[in-house]
With several copies, the nearest count.
Chain A
Amino acid sequence: MAEVLPREVLICTIARLLDGVRHVAVGASSPIPAAGAMLLRAMKEAGGAVGPRISILGSVEHNFFTNGSAELFDCAGQGRIDAFFLGGGQIDGFGNVNLVGAGDYPRSSVRWPGSFGSAYLYFVVPRVILFREEHTPRVFVEKVDFISAPGVSPEGVFRSGGPVALLTGKGLFRFDKTRPGFELESVHPGHDLAEIKQATGFRFEHDAAPQQTALPDRATLDLLRGRVFDELAETYPEFAAQMRRDLGTVDA
Chain B
Amino acid sequence: MVLSEPRAMAKHIEPGMRVALPVDYAGVSMAMTRPIIEHGAGDLDLVCVPTGGLQVDQLVGAGLVRTVETSAVSLGEAGGAPRFNAAVKDGAVRLKDATCPAIHAGLMAAQKGSPFMPLRGLIGTDLLRHRDDWRVIDNPLADGGDPIVLIPAIKPDVTIFHVPIADRFGNVWIGRRRELAAMAYASRTVLVTVERIVEESLLADEMSAAGVLPALYVTAVARAPKGAWPYGLWGEYPADSAEIARYAKAARTTDGFSAYMAQAQMEPA
A residues at B contact (CB < 8 Å)? 23, 29, 53, 58, 60, 63-70, 72-80, 99-101, 105-109, 111-124, 146-150, 153-154, 156-158
A123 with B185: in contact, given A64-B214, A77-B113 (CB under 8 Å)? no
**Most chain B beta-carbon neighbours within 10 Å: one of A29, A70, A119, A149:** A119
Of B3-11, B32-40, B120-128, B258-266, the stretch lying at the interface with chain A is: B120-128
Point out the residue from A107, A116, A149 that lies within 8 Å of B89, measured CB to CB. A107
Query: Does A67 contact B126, Cβ atoms closer than 8 Å?
Result: no
Point out the residue from A123, A148, A149, A157 that lies within 8 Å of B147, measured CB to CB. A157
A67 to B209, CA, bound (A): 10
A77 with B210: in contact, given A53-B216, A108-B88, A116-B71 (CB under 8 Å)? no
A123 to B181, CA, bound (A): 25
Query: Does B180 contact A74, Cβ atoms closer than 8 Å?
Result: no
A117 to B70, CA, bound (A): 11
In the assembled complex, which residues on chain B have CB atoms less than 8 Å from the CB atom of A75? Answer: 185, 216
Query: Does A60 contact B234, Cβ atoms closer than 8 Å?
Result: yes
A67 with B178: in contact, given A23-B216, A120-B100, A124-B113 (CB under 8 Å)? yes
Query: Does A105 contact B145, Cβ atoms closer than 8 Å?
Result: no
Report the minimal beta-carbon distance from B19 to chain A, rounded to whole angstroms: 18
In B82-127, the 8 Å CB interface with A consists of 84-85, 88-91, 94-95, 97-102, 104, 108, 110-114, 119-127
A117 with B100: in contact, given A29-B76, A70-B182, A106-B95 (CB under 8 Å)? yes
**Additional A-B contacts beyond A106-B94, A114-B70 (17; CB < 8 A):** A66-B178, A66-B214, A68-B176, A68-B181, A69-B26, A70-B101, A75-B185, A106-B130, A107-B90, A114-B74, A115-B99, A116-B71, A146-B126, A148-B127, A153-B123, A156-B146, A157-B124
Query: Does A78 contact B185, Cβ atoms closer than 8 Å?
Result: yes
Is the C-beta of B212 less than 8 angstroms from some C-beta in chain A? yes
27 contacts between A and B (CB under 8 A): A53-B216, A64-B203, A65-B214, A66-B176, A66-B210, A66-B212, A68-B176, A68-B181, A69-B26, A70-B104, A70-B178, A70-B179, A73-B100, A74-B111, A74-B185, A77-B113, A78-B110, A79-B113, A105-B126, A111-B88, A111-B89, A112-B80, A114-B74, A115-B71, A115-B97, A123-B120, A124-B120
A68 with B179: in contact, given A111-B80, A115-B72 (CB under 8 Å)? yes
A113 with B51: in contact, given A69-B104, A154-B124 (CB under 8 Å)? yes
